Amino acid sequence: MKTRSIIEISQKIKKGKATILTAEEISNLVREGEEPSFNDVDVVTTGTCGVMSGTAAIIHVKVGEPGSFKKASKITLNGVPGFPGPCPNEWLGSVDLILYGTSHSINDPNYGGGFLFKDLVMGEEIEIEMESISGKTLKTTTNIEEIGTAQMIGTRLAFKNYTAFVNPSNESVASIFHAINMEGPFKGLSFSGCGELNPLQNDPHMKTLKTGGKVLLAGSEGIILGQGTRSTDLKPNLMISADMHTMDPYLLGGFKTAAGPEVFNSVAAAIPILNEDILKDTFILNKDIKLPIADIRGRHEVLGFTDYASVWDNIMERPVYDQDECENCQSCLVRERCPTGAYEDLVNLETCFGCGMCDYSCPYGAFEIKRGQINFQAGESMVKVPMVCRQSDLKRARKTAEELKNRILNGSFSLI
């Protein structure tokens, strides 16, 4: 078997002689019957973007002057509760805290940690309210430039494989796995995962994606801390950390669900082609990646299977809005349901996630985004279910994989 070291690859990159392809470019070559050889590729960059509930942040903020309070007992940022500590910072006027991407604002049911993270990274002014252990309340504002430490940690990100969900019952179900209550029986499907672009789908045995490896988390250079919580050999995921100061706000944010606001995030990882087996692992196509379909009420009862080609091939990644078809409803279902708040009078394509809820929700056909239909065998019956809600975004996944490729080529991201 042909092999090379990561040092050899790095030297080729420095000399401008390395060939770097995204996972999508590799898959396109395979689709066309042109599998690259070991000598043709040095690095493959991968990417994924989706709802990633394991996202949290560790932040240190100034709240008052030294001596103004002993230590914090409660704190909120834009109404989102944080957890003071672990360091008490007695009498320093500042607070260490942990913020969950899944925490919900005490003031706004549609705002949560994911939206707060995006506002922080965008440089918005953030309102802080803190209660000390003596009951004293202090209010102030801050922004990312004033915050010394803002470290994001993903406790379980970039799963190799996910599960799609349907509701086989007659009663609607509220879940984090759908933007609205999921109607049944079998009236819609939601799913996550970016298929052939996903990092761990291209390195399923974690031959290169290991503890200490460098990645991009929301566009910021970060490090793999190890395998994430609930990671298994069959369904591995990664624990990752990166500095929020250098993150791209396009690549993270909030995502409203029927069970309250969640958080979406993006991960890009480079796979150095150290031997022929590692290269062959990247020869994957969406049609060959199984996607289990489970009952949303229990999550573990698999009803059948589809594949990622069924949910990603021949679809539209962003909606087309026909203003002439809009009836300007006083109570607009699209505005109410859009998970990222991308629709006001027009669709904000920078905020849009491409989830499909606008097309599904508008009764007048003002929005079009080809979502497709999934056919799968459930027991002895063939079930046809419309694809309703994508909780992953192929467009952002592609962007972060291409960004990583460009950084490696221009020398701003090194493999070692």
Quote the pLDDT of residue 161: 85
Tell me, yes or no, whether 28 lies in a domain: no
Tell me, yes or no, whether 13 lies in a domain: no
Tell me, yes or no, whether 172 lies in a domain: no
Question: Could you give the CA distance from residue 28 to residue 15 in angstroms, rounded to a whole number?
Answer: 27
Q: What is the pLDDT of residues 13-72, one digit of tens each?
A: 999 999 999 999 999 999 999 999 999 999 999 999 999 999 999 999 999 999 999 999
Tell me, yes or no, whether 160 lies in a domain: no
Tell me, yes or no, whether 105 lies in a domain: yes
- Residue 69 is part of which domain span? 55-152
3-state secondary structure the chain: CCECCHHHHHHHHHCCCCCEEEHHHHHHHHHCCCCCCHHHCCEEEEEEEEECCCEEEEEEEECCCCCCCCCEEEEEECCEEEEECCCCCCCCCEEEEEEECCCECCCCCCCEHHHHHHHHHCCCCEEEEEEECCCCEEEEEECCCCCCEEEEEEEEECCCCCCEEECCCCCCECCCCCCCCECCCCCCEEECCCHHHCHHHHCCCCCCCCCCCEEEECCEEEEEEEECCCCCCCCCCEEEEEEHHHCCHHHCEEEEECCEEEEEEEEEEEEECCEHHHHHHCCCCHHHCEEEEEECCCCCCEEEEEEHHHHHCCCCCCCEECHHHCCCCCCCHHHHHCCCCCECCCECCCCCCCCCHHHHHCCCCCEECCCCEEEEEECCEEEEEEEEEECECHHHHHHHHHHHHHHHHHCCCCCC
Quote the pLDDT of residue 32: 96
Tell me, yes or no, whether 140 lies in a domain: yes
Strand order in the sheet with 381-390: 302-307, 290-295, 164-166, 189-191, 381-390, 373-378
Quote the pLDDT of residue 190: 97
Spans in the chain with pLDDT lower than 50: none
Q: How many separate domains does the chain show?
A: 1
Quote the pLDDT of residue 151: 98
Tell me, yes or no, whether 243 lies in a domain: no
Q: What is the pLDDT of residues 356-414, one digit of tens each?
A: 999 999 999 999 999 989 999 888 889 999 999 999 999 999 999 999 999 999 999 99
Quote the pLDDT of residue 300: 79
Tell me, yes or no, whether 83 lies in a domain: yes
